[in-house]
A and B are shown apart, each in its own frame.
Chain A
Amino acid sequence: MASSSSYNCPCAACKFLRRKCMPGCIFAPYFPPEEPQKFANVHKIFGASNVSKLLHELLPHQREDAVNSLAYEAEARVKDPVYGCVGAISFLQRQVERLQKELDAANADLIRYACNDIPSGIACTAGSKFGSSHGSSAEAG
């Protein structure tokens, strides 16, 4: 956490809002002056007062994560005003679903092998031939 609420180094929030950065500024630990864009995005999308209220409702050890998640969502919304970060959620959900289906199919094949069962797709074409040939070879052996 960067603490910048010194008298000669206002935080990015107070710099942006053009106000004096007082000791105990709620934004100071999370919006260092080296990252002005971070607060600019958050203020543009959510507003400083809303963020301040949110932070005051959280415990101190939760605020950093909350600010960073808000910064992420704000930047996503700036670059994509329609979907924001929700677009990523939808995309990832589809990816997870797709992979899970693929995994289920692969596991099903593996179980068939583990059970010494004829793998799927073989039975309808060569399974019968194998059955007859296997039976005949077994009888011969």
Chain B
Amino acid sequence: MQPFSSSELFLLSLSLLIACRLLLPKMTVKGGTSQACAACKYQRRRCSSECALARYFPANQPKMFQNAHRLFGVCNIMKILRLLESDEQKDEAMKSIIYESDMRERFPVHGCWGIIWQLRQQLLLAIEELQYVKAKLTICREQWCSTHFSELQLGHVSPTNNDALPIFQHHSTDNAVPLSLKDHFVLNENDGAFIESNDDMVKPLWVQHPYYDNMINNNSMGIQSSQAFETLMCQDYDDIPFNTIADDRQSYIESKDVCESSSESSLKDTTQSIEYAWKNELRSAAACFSLTN
């Protein structure tokens, strides 16, 4: 038997190489030795260089894709991405999809809606407390002013000199109308338009998406009185960082701190009229967000 010639050996090795590439799944990405993305690994398919999900689901985080696949499904994710034009929009969309999926995995019943509900409760509490503290401050300033009025009359401090009474000027830019959710979430019932307040600090990033409160008003959810949800609110939503979305949105949820900050009952006094008026406004604002069947 004659041994193989060099050309035959070359052809044989070449054919073996081609057979291997055809039979074995391509587990590498072109241009590198990295393995298939988590999406392709999970689906047990070839991860090509054009894989649309590879950049969002790295191979070392399989859980992330599993959550997204469980809630949305690959087809629905691809449909969402196809609606978007720019890569930036797609990146942002994927971040929000991944966040939503993670929250649904962590809180299977309420998901992101539970976080929104808790944040609204925190907001209402903070507004109520701020209104009370500002009312107290007004009284304290008046008392301080009347106490030191004699010094003013003596001319040691010019009443026209604003710098001499900076405590008044310090808060002079505050809204005369008590801060309430209604100032920020005024709805146009026809199209759910969002009218932001005049406060420059309140610049909703998503003012072009004014449907949130319209949905909340119309949505029927029975979670307000759920004791289980209240327990969940105080315990399970702590420290949910939102830093997966964008670098400039370094926000976090402080549920317990807000809950505990309302315990300054020792400062309450007899400013009944002011509190009554503001509480009425707060109730009407809260009614905008009440969830009724």
Which A residues are within 8 Å of any B CB, using their own CB? Answer: 44-47, 49-50, 53-54, 57-58, 62, 64-66, 68-73, 75-77, 79-100, 102-103, 106-107, 109-110, 113-114, 119-122, 125-126, 129-130, 132-134, 137
Contacts and interface: CB of A to CB of B under 8 A. Distances in A.
A69 B109 contact: yes
Contacts of A134: 151
Contact of A94 (B133, B169, B251): B251
A57 B105 CA distance: 12
A119 B144 CA distance: 9
Contacts of B220: 68
Contacts of A69: 109-114, 221
Nearest to A99: B126
Contact of B222 (A64, A70, A81, A98): A64
Interface of B: 70-73, 75-76, 80, 83-84, 89, 92-93, 96-97, 99-100, 104, 108-116, 119-120, 122-123, 126-127, 129-130, 133-134, 136-137, 140-141, 144, 148, 150-151, 154, 156-157, 163-167, 169-170, 179, 184, 201-202, 204-206, 209, 211-212, 215-216, 219-223, 226, 229, 242, 245-246, 249, 251-254, 257-258, 261, 264, 267
Contacts of B252: 93
Nearest to B228: A62
Given A76-B215, A83-B92, 15 more contacts: A65-B222, A66-B110, A68-B222, A69-B110, A72-B113, A72-B219, A76-B211, A86-B245, A94-B249, A96-B123, A100-B258, A113-B137, A113-B141, A121-B167, A132-B156
A42 to B, nearest CB: 11
B242 A93 contact: yes
A82 B245 CA distance: 11
Contacts of A66: 108-111
Q: Which 3 A-B pairs have the closest CB atoms?
A: A93-B251, A121-B166, A69-B113
19 contacts: A46-B71, A50-B73, A54-B104, A62-B109, A66-B109, A68-B221, A82-B96, A83-B96, A85-B212, A93-B249, A96-B254, A99-B123, A100-B257, A106-B130, A109-B137, A120-B170, A126-B156, A130-B151, A132-B156
